[in-house]
Amino acid sequence: FCAALAAGDDARAAELCRTSGGAAGEVLLTALEERTHKNVRQEELVQAAAKKKALALRRYLEYLSVIVTMAPLLGLLGTVIGMISSFSVLSVAEGEPFAITGGVGEALVATASGLLVAILALSLYAYLSHRANGIIADVEYSATMYLAHVGGERGEA
């Protein structure tokens, strides 16, 4: 890509961006397509395209973050419901010490389920966040290399 830009072969550079298929290629292809317009600052164009791509990469991570936060709360809600049912059994079944164990078991299952979902979602969130950050770093590096080759502004004489 850099060799094609240095040689002034924008068509070859654009073709390399299309065939790469990555996020960096998409951002650089946007910049190359807009390069022909007069008075377009390449630096601002590349930054805008990179921000748009970063937003797209992180779009669904917020939902996963909500699941990580909500799962233990749902488990806690199940715990409270189980404990309420245990105490209501205790008041009905006077003198039966084992009547309460069903509600406690229900509470523990709810807590364990909520924690399991949170642990799995947090692991997935960490993995996907790391991947997104790696791709964004690649886009930033590629954009910097592109700007170093084109000089930052099209309108310069």
Separation CA 34–CA 65 (nearest Å) = 36
Instruction: Using alpha carbons, select from 45, 117, 31, 40 the residue that is nearest to residue 76.
Output: 117
Tally the domains of the chain.
Answer: 2
Query: Tens digit of pLDDT for each residue in 32-47?
Result: 777 766 666 778 888 8
**Structural domain for 111, as ranges:** 61-133
Separation CA 98–CA 86 (nearest Å) = 10
Same domain? For 66 and 93 the reply is: yes
Please indicate, yes or no, if residue 24 is contained in any of the structural domains: yes
- Sorted by sequence, the CB contacts under 8 Å of residue 122 that are 6+ apart come out as 68
Same domain? For 54 and 65 the reply is: no
Separation CA 92–CA 82 (nearest Å) = 15
User: pTM value?
Assistant: 0.68
Same domain? For 128 and 77 the reply is: yes
Query: Tens digit of pLDDT for each residue in 146-157?
Result: 887 776 444 443
